[in-house]
Every structure is written in C-alpha cells, then in structure tokens.
Structure 1
C-alpha cells in the first residue's frame, strides 16, 4: 500500500543545532562573504554562532541560505558545494549512531525516522518494492527562491554521509530531478556527485538503488571520520570524569571502533602486554577494566538517549551488548531504574521506531 509523506507541520520546521549555521557561514566566508553579511536579518549573532550548544529555528537557516545566495549568485553549484561540507561528525552523537549502524538498511531506517536530528529542510520518504529502494526528497513547503539550493544541499549531504559510512560511493541505479536540464557545468557536477547522470524534468526528486545494499554490513572504513567520532565521544566521557595514564589509554580504545567494543585480552595485545599486566597497571591507578567499560557505556547510553533518540535495542547494539535484555539489566545497575523509566523521569522523548514505506517504484 502506498503511503504519502507528510510535509506539513513540524516535520521540517524544527529547531536545529548551530553546526549547520556554522557550515553555511564558513562556506560564505571562504568565498569572500563577511560574517555580518551572512547573518543579516537572521537573528543569529556572532555569540550564538560561537556557542556549540546553541540552536536556531528552521526559518533562520532559510534566511541564512537566502543571504548566501544573494552574495554568491555566480556559483550555480553552491548547494552541492554546501552539502559536501556536512560530515558524519557534523551531526554530533547522532552521527556516531549512524556510523555505528550494523547495516546500511539500519542507518537508512534510523535517518528516515530521526529527521529532526539532522539539518535537512527537505522531507523525505524511503520506499521499497521488489529489488529497488527509492529515496524521495520533498520540497514544495520551501520558499521558491531557496528551494533548489536546499534540494541540492540536502541531497549532497546525504551522498556525503553515505560515502563516509560505507567507505565508498553507494552506487545509484537512477537519479531523478524535477528541475529542467541545467547547463553542462551543473549537469556534470551532479553526475560527479552521484556517480551517474541525473534524469531531469522528472515528476520527483529521488534516488533509486538496489535493495540488496540495505543488507550490506557497514565497514566503518573512513578512518578520518572514525577518529573524529572517537574524539567527540572522548570529550563527552572526559567531561564526566577525567582519566590519565593506562586507564585513559584503555578508555580511549574502548571508544575507537563504533559498534565493536574490544575485550580486555584484545586491548592488552594491542598494548603489547598480557591481560594480567594490564590489570596490574589499572589496579595501581585505582581502576578496573570492567569499571572503565561501564563508564563508557553508561555515558554513551545516556547521551544516545538524549541526543540521538535511538531505541534501546539500537543502543545495546552500538554499545556491544549481545541483546537488549542484557543492556537493560546493565542500565538498571548504573542508574537504579529501567531505561524507559529514566527517559520518562528525565523528560526525554520515547525512542522512535518506524519501517520503510513501500510502494511500486517504476523501472
């Protein structure tokens, strides 16, 4: 049965992190546009721009985009350039959750239902039929003067994320665009981005790829992105409790590979010592391997609930638990209450859930 995407209400008009404003402002600055000119009429001050915890309204971002387009009308591929600047790490802990998804399908499902953790201004629907998946981008709710830039930006950002979590291009079967065929320069920029020449003048903005790709395990192969995610998680955990010496080395290693937390034997081997020697070093520093592991898992679990909105099963998967029941038991040990109770008492939204929407995809 076909399900039409909803594009009204707060599905796109949500408050968003300041990181998107920083990306756009930096893009303008890199092309000679002053910061004050970029922020004009947005209500965003330099102080807000410099505050990593700040948030802005969607319409403030729309005005920022309008300023960028007004200042750089001679760059027809500006939206594509902007989109390639949105990396996994731009999205904070949500990016970590995306990177540590077990398969592309799990990442797509999470991204589709957690739109308000992204910086998208388009809305999207993911539909599967037989052996094809279609991701459609909807933009009729956006002001016409910024619409094409936003479509280009959001699609380029999606491609950038796909490459970083897959470690390679996705491999589209078809790219469809509603816009009329542009100049050869712009058409070539699209083809370079997607790896295939788009079909212009289509009834929808969509990308179509083989459904088999949804089951491909994610390699987490982009070393640079993984290192940035590790640093982000390390800062988070360090803000709760600082560590030095061997304990710091062990705790940092526990955060290095999303979705796979090594055991003590593995870490000891990497440090070129026996597990017994490692245990002795940790004891001398007043730490234990189990304690460090619990420290990392507890902090990341709480943050993934608060900022990424994952289900308990998804959190368990990313923290290296065999099943959700084991995670729930561990969470009770850390906090004294079940995860669902913790979410409720802390005023956190319940975890999101959803399925891929299905309908016929024309070949």
Structure 2
C-alpha cells in the first residue's frame, strides 16, 4: 500500500516478524495468503526476508484483512498475542531475558518499543506501592482497536511469563470495553490469571512495585534454549568449532546474563581446569580466546540489533564495569564502542520511546549507566 502520506508519530518501522506471526495465524485458520496480503504492500518475498521492515500502517491493513477474512472472531486478538514469544524479537529477546530484574526488563522494553511490535501507547507510573501501566488505544483506527489492544496486552503477558518463569501477579487488570459473553470473559481470566474489571475508563495493568526489583531467573526453559541456540548459530557463523572447544563455547552462551568462568565450566564437565586447559590446547584453542570470541560477537550484535547502552552490554557479558568492557572492545575492533557505532552508522540506545513512557520508574543503576556511556562517547 502507498505510504506517501504523512505518517502518524507512532508509525515507526518494525521488523517483518510481526507480519509473519499474523499471516501464520490466518493460514492456520484457513485464510488464503493472497487475501491476507492484499493492499498491504507486503510480498511473499518480504515474509521470507528476516531483515525486511514494514510500516505500522501496513500492519494495520494486514490486521484488517485477517479480521475480515476470518469473520471478526472476538478471541482473535488474544490468540495473536499469545504467538509473540520472546524469541520472536530476535536478539532483543535475548537482551530482555538477560536483564537482572523485572524493572530493568521494563526499562529496556520502553526504550526499545520499536522492536516489540506494539501499536498501543503506554504510560507507566508508580502510585504508592503499585505500578500502574495505562495502555492507550485512542489513536488507533476504531475497526482494529479491540484486536490490537487484546493482541498487545496478551503479548505483554507472554513476555512477562517467559522472563519471570511464571505469570505476573496482577493486583488488577482493567478494560474499557463492556463485559463480554461468559465464554469470552473466561478466556480473558485464563489469559491474565485474574478476572478483569470491564467497563473502566482506561485499559490498565496494576501490579506491586516490589516486583520491579525482583531478580529475573533467566530460567524459562524453552525460551532460554531458543535464545541459546540463536546465539550459538550467530557465533558459529563467525568461527567454526568442534570438540571440547565447541562444548565450552556453547556453555558460555547457555545462561543469558551469566557467563561462567573456567572453573565453573570445568566442574560441570567433570574435570579439573588444568585438564580442560590441556584439551583446549590440543585443539589449538584457549578459554580466554573462546570467551573473547563469544563476547565480541554478542557485543556487536547487541549494539546493532538490541541497541543496548555500553553499560548494559557490559553487564550482560559478565564484565565488572563498563570501563573494562570498553577496553576489551577497543582490543577487538581497534576503536572504542562509541567510535565503532559511528563508523557502522548505528543508532545509540536513545531510540524512539514515545509510545511507552516511564514517568516515575527508573531501575537502580541506570543514571550511572548513562553517565558511563557519556564517558565512553568522549573516549
């Protein structure tokens, strides 16, 4: 479809993965591909290109096609949202999964909204001991509004479950629309884990502020395995490994947010660190080289595809502080990370976040991280 008209401010470009999710939902329910793609400007070739991007207006037209083709079933938004898994978001999903706390994950999500495929606008505030997130949909076309609010809120609950390893304990879950038929009301309750309150002035999700500082387990098994496999393939593409070296490198990738040391890995492999070092030497490798290989690959990819700050990358790669990471990056690339970003034309972490604003909530340490990144830019 033509996008030559002036686009609304929330219509930032997004990855093709969201279109693939919606198209697959339609195909699974018997819709034809041509009917789903009509007037969207999305082609079959784009669906097969992981680097393709679309405008939000194209996604909205795809949603219109999906609804009209399937007869506007009321549960379709919920079903769509439940298909957006953490791994749908690529390396950004790994970055979220490796966040130390729920507050850090929410902070990253609001900054990187253009990688979450959300079309709603969200505002998070703290009132007393509660966090209140308001999901605003007034800017959306009325004919797709219900689908999108259901899709986006369902997708959020899926992400929360995957990064927490369990459902988030909501205090209340409020919806603007009137109470639906009993069967649909039950579906909402099953999805949220608490009976929603219907007929409210706004769509709001409310949960205890104490959850913001809760450490994330990085332990949802299925998602963690998929993230590990994605990162393994990424590193494998840069440098092929076999034998003990491959096993060590894969172990370095297995636990998002925690890169183990040599003693930990050798213990897991039921050998001493001296024996492990001897095996690696026989294969022409060293533990330090494997660790540098993993860290340098993930650092450049997180910079390009998750757009984390230097401090956030350092944290996820197991560095004690951002200065040590910057020194390592200079050793790998010959330039500090700030200069590398400029050379590669990469945007900094200050990406478009207007659709999700945090008014009061700032996870501990982020002010320091910003200061450290300013120092890195001056390096």
Residues 42-191 of structure 1: matches in 2 within 5 Å?
A: 42-73=40-71, 75-191=73-189
Does the CA contact (< 8 Å) of 1:309 and 1:351 recur in 2?
Answer: yes
More off after superposition, 286-295 vs 322-331: 322-331
Shift in Å, 1:358: 3.1
Shift of 1:11: 5.2
1:280 Cα shift?
1.4
Choose the corresponding residue for 1:316, options 314, 319, 327: 314
1:223-278 Cα distance to aligned partner (Å, 9 max, x none): 11000000111111112122122111111110000011011111112112221121
Q: 2:288 aligns with which of 290, 297, 306?
A: 290
TM value normalised by structure 2: 0.90
Q: CA deviation at 1:25?
A: 0.8
Unaligned runs of 5+ in 2: 1-5, 362-379
Provide the C-alpha distance between the structure 1 equivalents of 2:334 and 2:179, rounded to a whole number of angstroms: 60
CA distance in 2, matches of 1:327, 1:151: 40
Aligned to 2:204: 206
- Give the match for residue 360 of structure 2: 358
The superposition leaves residues 189-238 of structure 1 with CA deviations (integer Å, 9 ceiling, x where unpaired) of 11111111111121111100000000100011211100000011111111
8 Å contact kept, 2:218–2:257 = no
* Distance verdict in 2 for CA 1:358–1:98, change over 3 Å: same
**Could you say what secondary structure the match of 1:170 adopts?**
coil
CA distance in 1, matches of 2:48, 2:348: 30
Secondary structure (helix, strand or coil) at the match of 1:128 reads: strand
**Residues 151-174 of structure 1 deviation map (CA, whole Å, 9 limit, x = unaligned):** 000000000000000000101001
Secondary structure of the corresponding residue to residue 208 of structure 1: strand
Structure 1 stretch 194-203 or stretch 220-229: which is displaced more? 194-203
User: In the aligned structure 1, how far is the partner of 2:318 from the partner of 2:214?
Assistant: 19
Deviations 1:69-100 (A, max 9, x none): 01222521110010010011000011000000
Please list every run of 5 or more consecutive structure 1 residues that lacks an aligned counterpart in the other structure.
1-7
SS in 2 for 1:220: coil
SS of corresponding position for 1:304:
helix
Query: Hey, what's the Cα distance between the residues in 1 that align with 2:18 and 2:99?
Result: 23
Report the TM-score, using the length of structure 1 for normalisation. 0.93
RMSD: 1.7
Distance 1:73 1:128 in 2: 40
Decide whether the 8 Å contact of 1:12 with 1:120 is kept in 2: no
Tell me, yes or no, if structure 1 residue 221 matches structure 2 residue 223: no
Q: Is the 8 A contact 2:124 2:133 kept in 1?
A: yes
* Separation of aligned partners in 2, 1:83 and 1:208: 19
Q: Which residue of 2 aligns with 1:237?
A: 235
From the superposition, tell whether residues 304 and 99 of structure 1 become closer, same or farther in structure 2 (CA, over 3 Å).
Answer: same
Distance 1:143 1:50 in 2: 28
Secondary structure of the residue that 1:152 maps to in structure 2?
helix
Runs ≥4 residues deviating over 6 A: none
Task: Please give the alpha-carbon distance, in whole angstroms, between the structure 2 residues aligned to 1:12 and 1:50.
Answer: 25
- In structure 2, what is the equivalent of residue 197 of structure 1? 195
Provide the C-alpha distance between the structure 2 equivalents of 1:18 and 1:72, rounded to a whole number of angstroms: 22
Q: In structure 2, what is the equivalent of residue 29 of structure 1?
A: 27
| Residue 356 of structure 1: how far off its partner (Å) | 3.2
- Aligned to 2:358, the other structure's residue is in SS state coil
Q: Which moved more, 1:216-225 or 1:135-144?
A: 135-144
Give the secondary structure class of the aligned counterpart of 1:125. Answer: strand
Structure 1 window deviating more from structure 2 (338-347 vs 61-70): it is 338-347
Q: Offset at 1:55?
A: 1.3
In 1, distance between residues paired with 2:276 and 2:118? 46
How many pairs align?
352
CA contact (8 A) 1:122 1:137 kept: yes
Per the alignment, in what secondary structure is the counterpart of residue 137 of structure 1? strand
